[in-house]
Amino acid sequence: MSLIRQNATDLIPQRAPFVFVDNLIYIDDNSSHGSFKIPEGNIFVKSGVYTTSGMVESMAQTAAAGTGYLSRKNNKKVPIGYIGAVQKLEVLDWPPANAEITMEISLITNIMQVSLVSGLVKYEGKVMASCEMKIFVNN
């Protein structure tokens, strides 16, 4: 597929105030990229920075937005997914509130209703965090 810019809210089951991806900006069969402008009052902002928990959730919601986009493309309902495990989490820095971050998700493998993905959070081109996640999808 290609570069797109689509509001992610229509592609994920989460609703405010628990939405941590604004736009799906790229999608193909094995990856999705999203963006998120971190509001100052976000529940994951502590001491002026977006916390590790927020970055993990932004990665998970970017994966969900990609899945939602592909589901909608195939005339299916947007599924609900759950983080089953977070592995190899590495945090190098924390982006400040009011920053726009990007998330890059790549599919490693998919077995039945479980996807193993790798994710990155970037701010101004610099990697802030990375991890692998097992995501269970309830179709």
Find how far residue 138's CA is from the centre of its chain: 17
Mean pLDDT for all residues in the chain: 93
Q: How much is the pTM?
A: 0.94
**6 phi and psi angles, rounded to 5 deg:** -125, 135
Give the angle 102-104-108 at the CA atoms, nearest 5°.
Answer: 165
Q: 2 pLDDT band (50/70/90 cuts)? A: low
pLDDT of residue 32: 95
pLDDT of residue 1: 55
Mean per-residue pLDDT, 46-74: 95
What tokens were used for 26? 């790229």
Helices (H), the chain: 52-73
CATH code of the region 3-138: 3.10.129.10
Nearest alpha carbon to residue 108 among 130, 129, 126, 127: 130
Q: Read off the pLDDT of residues 94-127 as tens digits, 9 standing for 90 and up.
A: 999 999 999 999 999 989 889 999 999 999 999 9
